[in-house]
Amino acid sequence: MRGIIYIRVSSDEQVKGTSLESQEEHCRAYCQKKGIEVAAVFRDEGESAKTTNRTEFLRALEFLRKNKGKVQAFVVLRLDRFARNTEDHFSVRKILTDYGVTLHSVTEPIGSNPAEKFIEVVLAGAAQFDNDIRKLRCTDGLIRKVDQGFWPWKPAVGYVSSGSKRRGERKNTPDTIDPDTGPLIRRAFKEYLTGLYTQKAIAKMLDDWGLGRYRKTKTNAQFVDRMLQNQYYAGILINPWTGKEVQGKHAPLITADEFRQVQLIHQGRGYNQSPKRLRQHPDFPLRSTARCAECGGPLTGAWSTGRKERYPYYRCYTKGCSLIHVGLPRKDVQADFASKLKAVSPKQEFIERLKKKIITVWEAKHQAYGLEAESYKRQLATLEERKQRIYDMREEGSYSKEEFTARKQQIDNEITAVKISMSEANIQKHDLAGALSFGEQFLVDLSLGWRSVPDPLKFQFQKLVFPDGVPYQRGQGFGTAKLGLIFELSKASERREKILVAGAGLEPAISWL
């Protein structure tokens, strides 16, 4: 009789010991005793017995298929080396039977008579029972870890794991922010919150900052999409078994409010716009705002290539315009625009009167805001209680997984809406004096403010001052244009000293502050 020996260990640690050698020694001794000629030995090193998808095991079956009728025995040390669940055991047992091969266990009395078959079934079931118990204990341990605020698996990009799986260390401390990649992830969230960049643009930014070098792979929009929806970055863990939210022990990269705003933008309900829709290029911030004095069409911007270097120009491209394609040096146009802004900047006396009016209106609405905020606070408390009852009903088994997910998503949406409304109602808690002081810095010298704001915000700044654009003529600079309401009031106040009188009509003029 000819046969093969199959030996297996289930972890790298066992490979380093004598388990494989010991198994082979016992199996060879068994074959010699039973008169089985060993045709081949197959060793699975560090593979799991939870499924039949094992490299050497599959090679062993293929060997039996090719040598059908020439091999009659499949020898293992014991059945749990063969498989650890009954379905796999009898699935492979049937294959062996089809090949005319008998299963032999060195340490267990299995065979073809009824008693030996019964023992084989019991032993296969015991192996699965042991495996299921191990899995249950592992799952219970992981659930406890998550509920304690620790993420037992690999953390999100931007964090360093507090334990090493390779060294067999378990996590007993929170994951820490990676000093290299953590700041990059935080910066990406901040840029996305401006509402000016797509996920593809954020991915390119991350690679430009060096994330791809640290991860050793190119960052794509799919990575950014998963990153933006990962609550881990806001310090929140989601129990994968119960769906319950847990406050993590790790330091968050963004606040919970920032994460909620990111979700609104991600869902298309925030203020995210693509750069194309803004008609803006950082090299030419006056695109569309500056208009041709000849035809009224918008000026665009582009680089012209000379013999040795490139030169930036604004141009009119309106068909039929006599100034079409005439280059206007960027330096001259933007210097003239700064002068125009300085000319329309409100005087200090107007700003002081405006600040007093804002404070008067603010205080009048303070009480109403407070009552609103308290109402939202009570609504939020009620929703949180309902959410807790949903978790309790899931744990009690009253809800199926699908019902729980649907109810949780519904209540989460309601909570998000109330929190946003409450944040708006709580605006009276902000430092009004500080906000007015900040606004005053821009109003006193609009040209300085325009130069200091980030490039993506210059277009909005220009629209506040010149909502319909402003005409530009070479050699003469920017001409007269419709101003934003605040600046129209400022100009009017220079003509009429008492323009700022009490009245409801002024409120729209100050709402942008």
- DSSP per-residue codes, 430-478: S-HHHHHHHHHHHHH-HHHHHHHS-HHHHHHHHHHH-TT-EEEETTTEE
CA 393 to CA 391: how far, in whole Å? 5
* Whether the predicted pLDDT of 44 surpasses 70: yes
How far is it, in rounded angstroms, from Cα 481 to Cα 20? Answer: 87
Task: Please compute Rg for the chain using Cα positions.
Answer: 36
pLDDT of residue 51: 43
Nearest-5° Cα angle at 228, 222 to 229: 95
Residues 376 and 497 in one domain: yes
Do 129 and 171 belong to one domain?
no
470 part of a folded domain: no
Number of domains in the chain: 3
Q: Tell whether 210 and 109 lie within a shared domain.
A: no
Same domain, 9 and 67: yes
Burial of residue 413 (number of CB atoms within 10 Å: 0-12, 13-18, 19+): exposed
Contact 265, 225 (CB under 8 A): no
301 token code pair: 């911007």
Annotate 99-108 with b (16+ C-beta within 10 A) or e (fewer).
Answer: bebebbbbeb
pTM above 0.75, yes or no: no
Last residue of a domain, one of 135, 151, 170: 135
Which amino acid is present at 453?
Answer: V
What average pLDDT score do residues 6-13 get? 66
Interacting residues of 99 by C-beta distance below 8 A, sequence separation 6+? 64, 65, 68, 71
CA 490 vs CA 310, 439, 501: distances in Å: 41, 15, 13
Domain with 33 in it: what CATH number? Answer: 3.40.50.1390
Q: Is residue 311 part of a domain?
A: no
Check whether residue 87 and residue 164 sit in a common domain.
no
State residue 439's pLDDT score.
76
Task: Give the integer Cα–Cα distance in Å for 91 and 89.
Answer: 6
* Residue-level pLDDT at 10: 62
Boundary of a domain, candidates 240, 266, 292: 266
Question: How many CB atoms are located within 10 Å of the residue 117 CB?
Answer: 12
- How many CA atoms lie less than 13 Å away from 431 in the CB half-sphere? 6
Taking alpha carbons only, the member of 54, 56, 63, 53 closest to residue 3 is 63
The number of helices, as runs of H, and strands, as runs of E, in the chain is 18, 14
Residues of the chain with pLDDT > 90, as a percent, come to: 20
Q: In this structure, are residues 278 and 209 in contact, taking their beta carbons and an 8 Å threshold? A: no
Residue 122 lies in a domain: yes
- Boundaries of domain holding 48: 2-135
Least confidently predicted of 43-57, 136-150, 269-283, 338-352: 269-283
Q: Is the pLDDT of residue 140 over 70?
A: no
Give the pairing of strands 299-305 and 310-316. antiparallel
Q: Residue 27 domain-assigned?
A: yes
> Which pairing describes strands 159-160 and 176-177: parallel, antiparallel, or unpaired?
antiparallel
Long-range contacts of the stretch 20-27 (C-beta < 8 A, 24+): 20/45, 23/77, 23/81, 26/77, 26/106, 26/107, 27/75, 27/76, 27/77, 27/106
Q: Is position 363 within any domain? A: yes
Distance from C-alpha of 188 to C-alpha of 221, rounded to nearest angstrom: 12
Confidence of residue 432 (pLDDT cuts 50, 70, 90): low
Which whole-number Å values give the CA distances from 3 to 79, 93, 124, 278, 493, in the listed order? 17, 15, 22, 75, 104
Helix (H) or strand (E) holding 362: helix 348-396
Residues 74 and 103: their CA atoms lie apart, in Å, by 5
Residue 364 and residue 502 in one domain: yes
Range of weakest confidence among 14-18, 35-39, 288-292, 453-457: 14-18
Higher pLDDT, 328 or 119: 328
Q: Is 163 found in the same domain as 121?
A: no
**CATH number of the domain enclosing 254:** 3.90.1750.20
Residue 425 backbone dihedrals phi, psi, to 5 degrees: -70, -25
Helices (H), 38-148: 55-66, 86-98, 114-147
Which of 219, 239, 266 corresponds to the end of one domain?
266
Would you place residue 423 in the very low, low, confident or very high pLDDT band (cuts 50, 70, 90)? Answer: low
Q: Are residues 370 and 487 in the same domain?
A: yes
The answer to whether residues 61 and 203 belong to one domain is no
Residue 176 domain flag: yes
Examine residue 78 and state whether it is found in any structural domain, yes or no: yes
pLDDT recorded at residue 171:
63
Whether 174 is in a domain gets the answer yes
> What is the C-alpha to C-alpha distance for residues 231 and 361, in angstroms, rounded to an integer?
39
Query: Phi and psi for 292 in degrees, rounded to 5?
Result: -70, 125
More confidently predicted of 381 and 128: 381
What pLDDT score was predicted for residue 373?
76
How remote is the C-alpha of 173 from its chain's centroid?
23
121 and 168 in a common domain: no
Same domain, yes or no: 75 and 195:
no
Ramachandran assignment for 100, one of left (phi > 0), alpha (psi -120 to 50 degrees), beta (any other): left
Specify whether 171 is located in the same domain as 228.
yes
Distance from C-alpha of 376 to C-alpha of 390, rounded to nearest angstrom: 21
Q: pLDDT digit string (tens) for 386-411?
A: 989 988 888 888 888 888 888 887 78
Neighbour count for residue 95 (Cβ, 10 Å) = 15
